[in-house]
Structure 1
Amino acid sequence: MTASTLHVPQAGPGVGEPVLEIENLSVDYGYTDDATHVLRDVSLTLHRGEVLGLAGESGCGKSTLAYAATRLLPPPGLITSGSVQFTGRDGVRTDVLRQSDAELRASRWQDMAIVFQGAMNSLNPVYRIGRQIADGILAHQPRTSRRDALDQAAALLEMVGINADRLRDYPHQLSGGMRQRVMIAMALALDPQVLIMDEPTTALDVVMQRQIVEEIAELRERLGFSVIFITHDVSLLIEIADRIAIMYAGDIVEDARAQDVYRRPRHPYSSALLHSFPPLRGERRELTGIPGAPPDMQKMPPGCPFAPRCPHATDVCRQVHPGLTPTALAGRDDVEAARRVACHLHDPALVGASGLPDELAR
Structure 2
Amino acid sequence: MSEPVLTISDLHVDYGTGDDAVHALRAIDLTLHRGEVLGLAGESGSGKSTLAYAVTRLLSPPGVITGGDVHYHRRDGEKVDILSLSAPELRAFRWAELSIVFQGAMNSLNPVHTVRSQLTDVLKAHRPEMKRAERTDRAKELLALVGISADRLGAYPHQLSGGMRQRVMIAMALALEPEIVIMDEPTTALDVVMQRQILRQLVKLREQLGFSVVFITHDISLLIEFSDRIAIMYGGRIVEEAGAADIYRDARHPYSDGLLHSFPALHGPRRELAGIPGSPPHLAAMPAGCAFHPRCPRAFDPCASRVPMLTRPAGETAEPRTVACWLHHAAPTGVR
* TM tier, smaller: over 0.9
| Structure 1 runs of 4+ with >2 Å offset | none
Paired residues of 2:13 and 2:67 also in contact (CA < 8 A): yes
Q: Is residue 29–residue 37 contact of structure 1 (8 Å, CA) maintained in 2?
A: yes
CA contact 1:19–1:87 (8 Å) conserved in 2 = yes
The residue type paired with residue 270 of structure 1 is: S
> Partner amino acid for 1:181?
R
**Pairwise mapping of residues 225-244 of structure 1 onto structure 2 (< 5 A)?**
225-244=211-230
Task: Give the number of equivalent residue pairs.
Answer: 333
Instruction: Give the corresponding residue for 1:218.
Output: 204
Matches within 5 A, 1:244-255: 244-255=230-241
Paired residue secondary structure (2:18)? coil
Provide TM-score, normalisation by structure 1.
0.90
Report the Cα offset of residue 172 of structure 1. Answer: 0.7
Give the corresponding residue for 1:209: 195
Match of 2:318 among 334, 350, 355: 334
Q: Is the 8 A contact 2:103 2:188 kept in 1?
A: yes
- Residue 268 in structure 1 maps to residue 254 in structure 2: yes
1:112-167 CA-to-partner distances (Å, cap 9, x unmatched) read 00000111111000001011000001100011112111110010001100001110
Bigger shift: 17-26 or 275-284?
A: 275-284
Report what 2:326 is aligned to: 344
Secondary structure, aligned partner of 1:19: strand
| Secondary structure of the corresponding residue to residue 148 of structure 1 | helix
Aligned-partner residue type, residue 341 of structure 1: V
- Partner Cα distance (1:278, 1:51) in 2: 24
| Structure 2 residue aligned with 1:199 | 185
Contact 1:30 1:76 (C-alpha < 8 Å) held by counterparts: yes
Q: Which sections of structure 1, spanning at least 5 residues, go unmatched? A: 1-14, 355-362
Q: Which amino acid aligns with 1:21?
A: T
Q: Is the 8 A contact 2:229 2:241 kept in 1?
A: yes
Q: Residues 203-229 of structure 1, C-alpha deviation per residue, up to 9 Å, x if partnerless?
A: 100100000000000000000000000
Normalised by the length of structure 2, the TM-score is 0.97
The 1-side partners of 2:3 and 2:267 are apart by 34
The answer as to 2:65 corresponding to 1:71 is: no
Instruction: State which of 264, 267, 279 in structure 2 corresponds to 1:281.
Output: 267
Aligned match of 2:80: 94
Q: 1:334 is aligned with what amino acid?
A: A
- Secondary structure of 1:273 counterpart: helix
Q: Distance in 2 between matches of 1:27 and 1:307?
A: 23
Contact kept, 8 Å, 2:45 with 2:235, in 1: the verdict is yes
Unaligned runs of 5+ in 2: none
Q: Which amino acid aligns with 1:129?
A: V
1:161 counterpart residue number? 147
Question: Does 1:52 pair with 2:34?
Answer: no
Distance in 2 between residues matched to 1:30 and 1:170, nearest whole Å: 38
Q: Does 1:133 align with 2:119?
A: yes
Asked if the contact 1:129/1:168 (under 8 Å) is kept, the reply is: yes
Cα distance in 1 between the residues matched to 2:116 and 2:331: 61
Does the CA-based 8 Å contact 2:302-2:331 persist in structure 1?
no
Q: How far is 1:348 from its partner?
A: 4.3
Paired residue secondary structure (1:296): coil
Q: Distance in 2 between matches of 1:78 and 1:328?
A: 35
Tell me the residue number matched to 1:20. Answer: 6
C-alpha separation in 2, matches of 1:349 and 1:43: 22
Alignment of 1:26-41 (within 5 A): 26-41=12-27
**Pairing 1:111–2:97 present:** yes
2:37–2:228 CA contact under 8 A, matched in 1: yes
Using the aligned pairs only, state the percent identity. 64
CA distance in 2, matches of 1:45, 1:203: 28
- The one of 33, 52, 67 aligned to 1:81: 67
For the Cα contact (< 8 Å) 1:131–1:150, is it kept in 2? no
Deviations 1:79-118 (A, max 9, x none): 0000101001211001100111111111100110000011
Distance in 2, Cα, partners of 1:43 & 1:317: 21
- Name the CA distance, whole Å, in 1 between partners of 2:155 and 2:283: 44
- Structure 1 counterpart of 2:306: 320
Secondary structure at 2:167 match in 1: helix
**Equivalent-residue separation in structure 1 for 2:142 and 2:247 (angstroms):** 34
Post-superposition shift, 1:285?
1.5
Query: Is the CA contact (8 Å cut-off) linking 2:312 and 2:322 kept in structure 1?
Result: yes
Q: Is the 8 A contact 2:38 2:229 kept in 1?
A: yes
Alpha-carbon displacement from aligned partner over 1:208-254 (angstroms, at most 9, x marks no partner)? 00000000000000000000000000001111100000000100000
SS in 1 for 2:113: coil
